[in-house]
Structure 1
């Protein structure tokens, strides 16, 4: 406001105001109240939906319905998979602190940006989570807990090579029902979209329903209902 009042046009129009203006806390509070402004806690950037969301959503729904009518999938043969980052230090945004402190610190281990990837798969029941760590191989002397699958990748993320491992894993998981029509629903992450990956899925009897880019927050069941409770439990 002080910078605005120093502009020549403003001085010409409001010379009496510029000389007497006091940028007090009361003035600031009245200004914010007048324009319905308030101090807010920092929030994450929300995903903005595309302008053609309704059209994309309608086309995707029709495609899935067409697959279901054509192949008559049993519900236990409709699969959904999704990857998500899990942070080693999942610090809360809240802490207990004496009243009146102007600066609030939250204790952490300086690992709040270090993460690994967890891949979840569900259908009628869930499959064991697959954890992908940022390593080339299993560190010497480490022992894995039961009930999870651990893979390694240099960046700690899913790529085309690990997608082939994932398909081989499912090849063993569904070997008892090779001729039953099955559908896999996943998002349009780049590692999912290689022609070789789609071909490998089709070879083990999976039809693919790829969620269009921008519709994950609407059409990805794991993202909507499972990922947050999973992280909350962690």
Structure 2
């Protein structure tokens, strides 16, 4: 064997960034993904090159200068060295959902929920949640076994586009449920539509097949019949802010029959509503399986909306089980009551729009805050006061701005305190490179390695008064007299 092919024992490849720098870069990438502004692979390669140039990192390959970005082989090896990172396909999330699920809105909901539990001495059998879900005649097929390498695998469905039937579900924290209600897209409803449905289910019809206040009044009678609330034993019903739920006739019927209505904060039901958390998902899965079984036993036939009750009859007892319901209430923190069930990581997507309200801003001592020029090096968003400086807008140095700062054991600064007036803000979770002598002056200077100095995390501008006059819903006890009078 030639000596040139002899493997070198203990050989370690030469790295562009040292271990601590790669750790900081990895934390920044994870932080960007947690606030739903993740970086593309190309953006990570560009950021690596910019960091190497900005912080005078040695061992930069010549190809990086030629292409203006790190190479693909560097990214591949970087992912291998940092096992917490991987290339994933993100799920589309609306900006309203990301911004509304914040600590303030959630705390407001839990405060009202805790007050109601204490005031009325509520037990799990008297805490209910209802929600609508849609069942179509065409659902996405489940995974099947097929030939490996085949580009496309087909599965028979009834039609190209399905017709939707709304199904109203209601469950309690004790694990109980009541028979569902169906809303068909038919102006003339007949009881024979639900002859194959679950026992004691009810139905209604309208032009669209969606739930309206008229159909919801029918469901409220159905709900009161099965839960039997009384003035001395009221029932708490948790529901979203859909227009059919906040109708004045619905609220008056609920109050008259000792049903307390508590609404969730807008765009927060994906985390707070038990049916969304742990019931609707299994329910849709079993509905899809039932549809596949129907198509196999009825080859050549097209599924209509009148088969939907039979599909739900199969899926309902399998999905709406006591263990699924109780686990969903527990995960949402409703029962057992746990107002601290959500962590800082759960609130991370709201970081971008976490801004002080205009009416709460402090005007004292903020008139002379300078606006940094565009070419000035920006400090991390959670320590940069310039993010809150705008034309004729006063700022507030709020502790909520700093609550998103990750406190790390290897930080060189105190991440939980604000910089003093004569102190330059220092990026958190960064470290100082070794002191180096300047080539011309011989003076020593230090450079802080922080990817956020190169690519600051996005932050929404401050809120302004008078630009949005639309009424915004928030969590509220709808059956309280002030809320009911306001709806009138």
Q: CA RMSD in A?
A: 3.2
SS of the residue corresponding to residue 103 of structure 1 reads coil
SS of the residue corresponding to residue 50 of structure 1 reads helix
Distance in 1 between residues matched to 2:100 and 2:193, nearest whole Å: 49
The runs of at least 4 aligned residues of structure 1 exceeding 6 Å deviation read 29-32, 38-41
User: Where does residue 126 of structure 1 map in the other structure?
Assistant: 177
Matches within 5 A, 1:1-234: 45-46=92-93, 48-50=97-99, 53-92=102-141, 94-110=143-159, 112-123=161-172, 124=174, 125-138=176-189, 144-145=195-196, 146-147=198-199, 148-175=201-228, 177=230, 179-234=232-287
| Residues 135 and 156 in structure 1, CA contact (< 8 A), matched pair in contact too | yes
More divergent stretch after superposition (137-146 vs 222-231): 137-146
Distance in 2 between residues matched to 1:33 and 1:103, nearest whole Å: 29
SS of the residue corresponding to residue 98 of structure 2 reads coil
TM-aligned CA deviation for residue 99 of structure 1: 3.3
Distance in 1 between residues matched to 2:170 and 2:235, nearest whole Å: 14
TM-aligned CA deviation for residue 83 of structure 1: 0.6
TM-aligned CA deviation for residue 92 of structure 1: 2.0
Residues 157/143 of structure 1: CA separation in 2 closer, same or farther (3 Å cut):
closer
More divergent stretch after superposition (202-211 vs 87-96): 87-96
Residues 108/170 of structure 1: CA separation in 2 closer, same or farther (3 Å cut):
closer
SS of the residue corresponding to residue 169 of structure 2 reads strand
What is the number of equivalent residue pairs in this alignment?
Answer: 207
Unaligned runs of 5+ residues in structure 1 are 1-28
Which protein has the bigger strand share?
1
SS of the residue corresponding to residue 148 of structure 2 reads coil
Residues 114/207 of structure 1: CA separation in 2 closer, same or farther (3 Å cut):
same
Distance in 1 between residues matched to 2:154 and 2:125, nearest whole Å: 48
TM-aligned CA deviation for residue 58 of structure 1: 0.4
Q: Which has the larger radius of gyration?
A: 2
Per-residue Cα deviation, 1:159-206 (whole angstroms, up to 9, x for no partner): 010111112223333447454122110111121122332222111111
Residues 100/40 of structure 1: CA separation in 2 closer, same or farther (3 Å cut):
farther
SS of the residue corresponding to residue 173 of structure 1 reads helix
TM-score, normalised with respect to structure 1: 0.74
Distance in 1 between residues matched to 2:101 and 2:177, nearest whole Å: 33
User: Where does residue 322 of structure 2 map in the other structure?
Assistant: none
Distance in 2 between residues matched to 1:134 and 1:174, nearest whole Å: 28
| Residues 90 and 112 in structure 1, CA contact (< 8 A), matched pair in contact too | no
Residues 98/40 of structure 1: CA separation in 2 closer, same or farther (3 Å cut):
farther
TM-score, normalised with respect to structure 2: 0.38
Distance in 1 between residues matched to 2:150 and 2:284, nearest whole Å: 31
Distance in 2 between residues matched to 1:140 and 1:120, nearest whole Å: 19
| Residues 178 and 226 in structure 2, CA contact (< 8 A), matched pair in contact too | no
SS of the residue corresponding to residue 130 of structure 2 reads strand
Distance in 2 between residues matched to 1:31 and 1:130, nearest whole Å: 57
Residues 175/95 of structure 1: CA separation in 2 closer, same or farther (3 Å cut):
closer
| Residues 91 and 112 in structure 1, CA contact (< 8 A), matched pair in contact too | no
